[in-house]
Structure 1
Amino acid sequence: DIMIWALSQNDPQGWLRVMQQDPAEAAAFLDRLDGDFKTHLDRYKYASRFDAAAGEYHRQEGASFLGDLEARLAAGGPQQNAQNETGGLALWGGAMGLLDFAALPFVRQFRIAGPQWFDSRPWPHLHSWLRGFLDSPEFASIMHKYTPWQPGEDGIAFPPG
C-alpha cells in the first residue's frame, strides 16, 4: 500500500504500469507476496522465535513461491519480454517495476536466512535477478554500510551530510 501510494504521487519510471494494465494480476501477486510468502519467510528466518522444528517446512513453502518467481522470470512474466532496458530480468512486462521492487527485499531476506541452501537451488533466473538488484548502484546507494558507533565518537545524523 505504501509503495502504491508513493508511486501514485510520483512514478517517473512507470513502476505502476502493472496496476493499470493488469490490476487483478498485480493484486494477486502482492497478496501472495505479503501474505503466505512473508509468513513463511518470517517463520523460516526466525524459526527460533516461532517453532524451530517447523523451520524446514516454512523454507519449503517459501521455496514454492520462489520457484514460481523462477518460472515467471524464465518465461518473461505474463508479457513476452523478460529483458529490461538494462539487460536484467523482470517479473512483469519486460521492465522492472512494482512487482520486482516489492518482491526483491523479501527474496533478499530469504537468501540471507540460508545463503548456501538458496544458492544451491536450480533457480538461475531468480539468482541473476537478485544479483542484478544487489549489484546495482541504486541498491548500493540505499544500503550504505556504516561502521558501528563506538563510545567517544561523534554520531551520524540522518540524513548524512
Structure 2
Amino acid sequence: MPNNAVLYSFRRCPYAMRARLAITYSQQAVELREVVLKNKPQTLIDASAKATVPVLVLSDAIIDESIDIMAWALHRRDEDNWQRREDTAKQAEIQQLISDNDIIFKHWLDRYKYADRYPEHDPLYYRQQAEQTLSGLETRLEQHRYLIDDDISWADMAIMPFIRQFAHNDKRWFLQSPYPQLIRWLEQLMTQPPFIDIMQKYPPWQTGDSITLFGQG
C-alpha cells in the first residue's frame, strides 16, 4: 500500500463515496476501515479532530477533506484525465461546479432531507431551492453527455453522490421531474464502475481486525 494508507469511510456518506470513487478509479490500494458513525473508533478520533469520514491516514500526512483525498488519488493516477490537465478553463469549471455543490446545493439538500430539523419552511420549499442547482446541471447535460464535456470528469464523480442522495429522498418525484438528462446521467453513473465497485458492503472495522484492501488494481 502506498504510504501504508488507511481510509476511514462510511458506505452511504456522499463525501466518503466521492473519495472511494477516486481511489478506486486511480487504483490506489488502501486499508479500508468501515465506520459506524454512532460508534466511531478511537483511532479515527485520534487521527482527525473533525472525526468525520472520510479520513485518509498516510505515514506522513492526514487528509480529512473528501476533495483533497480525490486530489491525492488523481495526482497519482488519472488515465482518463478526470482533471482535464492542460485545459485551465475546464479545470476552473470543475472547481466551480464542485464548490457550488458543496456550498449551495448541500445546504438545501440537508434541509430537504431532514426538513423536520428545519421547521422554518416545508420540504417543498427546500426542494425548490435545491432545484436551482438541478436546473443548471440539466442545462449542461443538454449540451454534452457529462457535466464538463462528453467524457467523465472529476466534477461528475464529486457531485454524483449528492444528486443520488437528493434523488433517493423521493425517488418517485425525481423520476417524474423535468430533468430527463440529469436522470439519465445519474442512472448511467450508478450502474457502471467505479460506482458499482465502491458500494460493496463491508462489516464495521474494529481494532484487531484483519486488513481489508480497497482500491487496488
Question: Which of the numbers 93, 103, 119 marks the counterpart of 2:175?
Answer: 119
Match of 2:72 in 1: 5
1:55 alignment partner AA: P
Structure 1 residue runs without a partner (length 5+): 77-88, 150-155
Q: Greater share of helix residues, 1 or 2? A: 1
| Conserved? CA contact 2:95–2:155, under 8 Å | no
Residue 92 (str. 1) matches residue 148 (str. 2) = yes
2:110 alignment partner in structure 1: 42
**What does residue range 72-87 of structure 1 map to in structure 2 within 5 Å?**
72-76=140-144
Query: What CA distance in whole angstroms lies between the structure 2 residues aligned with 1:47 and 1:19?
Result: 43
1:107 paired residue number: 163
TM-score, length-normalised on structure 2?
0.58
Using the size of structure 1 for normalisation, the TM-score is 0.76
How far did residue 43 of structure 1 move? 0.9
Greater shift, 6-15 or 65-74, is seen at: 6-15
Alignment check: 8 A CA contact 1:44 1:58 kept:
yes
1:65 lines up with 2:118 in the alignment: no
Q: Please say if residues 98 and 155 of structure 2, whose CA atoms lie closer than 8 Å, have aligned partners that are also in contact.
A: yes
Q: Is the 8 A contact 1:43 1:51 kept in 2?
A: no
Contact 2:164 2:186 in 1 (8 A): yes
Report the RMSD for the aligned CA atoms in angstroms. Answer: 2.5
The answer to whether structure 1 residue 140 and structure 2 residue 196 are counterparts is yes
What is the rounded CA distance, in whole Å, between the counterparts of 1:19 and 1:62 in structure 2? 32
Structure 1 residue 144, shift from structure 2 partner: 1.7
Q: 1:15 aligns with which of 77, 82, 92?
A: 82
Relative to its length, the structure with more strand (as a share) is 2
Q: Rate the CA distance shift 1:138–1:5 in 2: closer, same or farther, 3 A.
A: closer
- How many Å separate the matches in 2 of 1:117 and 1:158? 41
In 1, the alpha carbon distance for the partners of 2:127 and 2:147 equals 22
Q: In the alignment, residue 15 of structure 1 is paired with which amino acid?
A: W
- Structure scoring higher RCO (CA < 8 A, sep ≥ 6) equals 2
Match of 1:85 in 2: none
Q: Residues 37 and 102 (structure 1 numbering): CA distance in 2 closer, same or farther, change over 3 Å?
A: same
User: Which residue is 2:101 aligned to?
Assistant: 33
Identity, in percent, stands at 35
Change (3 A) 1:41 1:6: same
Contact (CA 8 Å) 2:94, 2:148: kept in 1 or not? no
